[in-house]
């Protein structure tokens, strides 16, 4: 069974702080990982993806992948209230199919 696990939260951070969102997965065969952001009542939108071990940076966002430990994380620097949303981690085991975690709700307080 291929599973992706996330802490449901809410994760509360003050404005300007670093938010750290974590995700673990069950199967070492996963090829790539995706972080989606979903505002309440809206559909998910892709933030970034990562498929190599290490860090990948895009603006205020950094994705980190550790395949040996089977975890992937998303760091949000200088968190803003507009970052408050649910963050979904997803893994691709091939075949263009994604398996999603349950999502972590992030709250950034002014």
Partner 1 sequence: DVKVTQSSRYLVKRTGEKVFLECVQDMDHENMFWYRQDPGLGLRLIYFSYDVKMKEKGDIPEGYSVSREKKERFSLILESASTNQTSMYLCASSPTGDTEAFFGQGTRLTVV
Footprint on this chain of partner 1 (rule: CB under 8 A): 4, 6, 8, 32, 34, 42-46, 49, 88, 90, 92, 96-103
- Least distance from partner 1 to the Cβ atom of residue 68, Å: 22
In the complex, minimum distance from the CB of residue 15 to partner 1, in angstroms, rounded to a whole number:
27
Residue closer to partner 1, measured from CB, 1 or 69: 1
Nearer to partner 1, 17 or 92 (CB): 92
Smallest distance from partner 1 to CB 21, Å: 14
Contact assessment for residue 81 and residue 22, using Cβ atoms and an 8 Å cutoff: no
SS3 82: helix
Burial of 82 (0-12, 13-18, 19+ CB in 10 A): exposed
Sheet (strand 71-76) strand order? 4-5, 19-25, 71-76, 61-66, 54-58
In the bound state with partner 1, the residue whose beta carbon lies nearer, of 52 and 110, is 52
- Check if the beta carbon of residue 44 is closer than 8 Å to that of residue 36: yes
What's the closest the beta carbon of residue 41 comes to partner 1, in angstroms?
A: 8
């Amino acid at each position: 069974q291929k599973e992706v696990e996330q802490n449901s939260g809410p994760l509360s951070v003050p404005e300007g702080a670093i938010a750290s969102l974590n995700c673990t997965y069950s199967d070492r065969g996963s090829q790539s990982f995706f972080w989606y952001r979903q505002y309440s009542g809206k559909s998910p939108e892709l933030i970034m993806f990562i498929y190599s071990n290490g860090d990948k940076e895009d603006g205020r966002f950094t994705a980190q992948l550790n395949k040996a430990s089977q975890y992937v994380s998303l760091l949000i620097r200088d968190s803003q209230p507009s970052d408050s949303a649910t963050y979904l981690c997803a893994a691709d085991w091939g075949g263009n199919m994604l398996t999603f975690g349950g999502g972590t709700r992030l709250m950034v307080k002014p």
